[in-house]
Copies of this chain bind each other. A is one copy, B any other.
Amino acid sequence: MASGTWEEFFAAHLPPPDFEDNRSLLKEFCERHDQYGNRIALVTSGGTTVPLEHNTVRFVDNFSAGTRGSASAEYFLEHGYAVIFMHRQKSLEPFTRHFSGQKLLDMLDIQERGPNTTITVKPDSVDVLAPILLRYKAAHSAGAILHVSFTTVSEYFWLLRAACECLTNLGPRAVLYLAAAVSDFYIPKDRVPTHKMQSASGAPVIQLQLVPKMLAPLVNLWVPEAYVVSFKLETDENLLVPKARAALDKYKHKMVVANLLQTRHHRVILVTPDETQEILLTREEVHAGVDIEASIVLELVRLHAEHLAPCGAPPAAPHGSLAPLAPHAPPTPRTPR
């Protein structure tokens, strides 16, 4: 079954209600960082949904907690990038991803002394919390991160295109790190029932349609100069690299991060037009809580600097907060594991 074009998709799906607000935020953020010559990473994260009803009770969802995207956003910030964190509502976010709500409440001690109540973080939790809290506060006070959120696949595409419209001015200084798990299938709007499907009428048959591949217009039209990275999540090892390479051949972007559902937290394969590079955490690293995203982003920052070099743009500052106007130090070269 044909999937329809991306133009037809946008024509058939209205923008989400908060779209203009988000577009203004994206515009302001990109213009501000563009002025300073900063690099911006657009990190998409979490899964998109496909509603099965207009008044949505049921939907088809894509598995993704947002681990990859939220961790990667932190490392882009460390490398001096400004970050647009475009995530599924309620999915994991940078910094807060380290603590569930319960874990945070368990860290707190409450002291009631007469009329004065104070709440402090237990001393043995300070060591864990302090470094993350400092990085969180630094990123927010520098205005280095913008959060925008989506739920459905059409909301995602509207936001993605709006972000691209703002990022295109940055030319090659923009990185698109498309880690969100985007639905391949959707239900055309005119076939979605208005009310909740009634179980009394028997089990429904859901006829899905293919979502048009947005990577094609994104790479060719929306941000032709940007460093675009897409992700392939598969469950079958045999399909992994062939499918990643086929995507690169087809869309002509810069990198596919290929990973298997079963091993994605300790193994990825970075597929570029020139090479195929495996990043593998050791058992000790996994046990020590090392994020594989640190290595992915480190290598990507290196390749992005190469991509920028012909343009004479300054490379990003390693592990620094944003230093507007000041020249950036080159990143420390290091071979990823």
Contacts and interface: CB of A to CB of B under 8 A. Distances in A.
A204 B185 contact: yes
Given A126-B117, A133-B108, A57 B203 contact: no
A49 B100 CA distance: 22
Contacts of A181: 57
Given A101-B99, A199-B185, A208-B203, A133 B118 contact: no
Chain A contact-residue range equals: 35 or more
Contacts of A13: none
A49 to B, nearest CB: 7
A54 to B, nearest CB: 8
Nearest to A127: B117
A71 interface: no
A108 B185 CA distance: 42
Interface stretch (A61-69, A286-294, A310-318): A61-69
Interface of A: 1, 3, 49, 52-53, 55-63, 65, 90, 93, 95-97, 99-102, 104-105, 108, 110, 117-121, 123, 126, 129-130, 133-134, 136-137, 181, 183-185, 194-199, 202-210, 233-236, 239, 261-262
A122 to B, nearest CB: 9
B235 A55 contact: yes
A102 B93 contact: yes
A47 to B, nearest CB: 9
19 contacts: A56-B261, A57-B233, A58-B60, A58-B63, A90-B90, A95-B102, A96-B101, A108-B121, A108-B133, A110-B133, A118-B120, A120-B121, A194-B235, A196-B234, A202-B210, A203-B209, A205-B205, A205-B207, A205-B208
